[in-house]
């Protein structure tokens, strides 16, 4: 089966879909190349959501690498801190996770603060927020 090139627009959504299709066809090298290209196009929120998806798929190490890279490149984005908090929580580092979630809350829009405060309380109670 021949995968045709993406003709309309070369962007994150198209490349990540292409990567998934190629992976399903067991064309691992091509899938990896499309995934890398997708992540090169991705904005910080897309990277965060990609890492959350990896976490949901139980691909923790890949998710953690994405969370860390996103934090390295975009430390000023509030949701990047929620990704680090989720990573630390999964590693059992609840104090570090709570610290990151508080940083997220400080920069978050008002409509997110109540939700994040609830996550902080869960983390302070040593509860897993990734379930």
Q: 73 pLDDT exceeds 60?
A: yes
CB 80 within 8 A of CB 43: no
pLDDT of residue 106: 96
Provide Rg for the chain, Cα atoms.
Answer: 17
Handedness of CA 13, 101, 88, 76 (dihedral sign): positive
Residues across the chain: 131
How many helices (H) and strands (E) in the chain? 7, 0
pLDDT in tens, 16-36: 999 999 999 999 999 999 889
DSSP 129: S
Domain borders along the chain are: 9-42, 43-131
Region 43-131: CATH code: 1.25.40
């Amino acid at each position: 089966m021949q995968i045709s090139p993406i003709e309309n627009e070369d962007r994150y959504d198209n490349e990540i879909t292409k990567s998934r299709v190629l992976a399903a066809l067991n064309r691992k090298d091509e899938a990896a190349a499309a995934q890398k290209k997708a992540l090169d196009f991705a904005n910080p929120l897309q990277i965060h959501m990609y890492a959350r998806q990896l976490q949901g798929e139980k691909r923790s190490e890949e998710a953690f690498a994405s969370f860390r890279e996103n934090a390295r490149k975009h430390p000023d984005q509030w949701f990047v801190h929620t990704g680090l908090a989720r990573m630390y929580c999964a590693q059992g580092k609840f104090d570090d996770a709570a610290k990151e979630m508080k940083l997220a809350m400080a920069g978050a829009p008002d409509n997110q603060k109540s939700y994040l405060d609830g996550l902080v309380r869960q983390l302070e109670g040593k509860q897993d927020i990734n379930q």
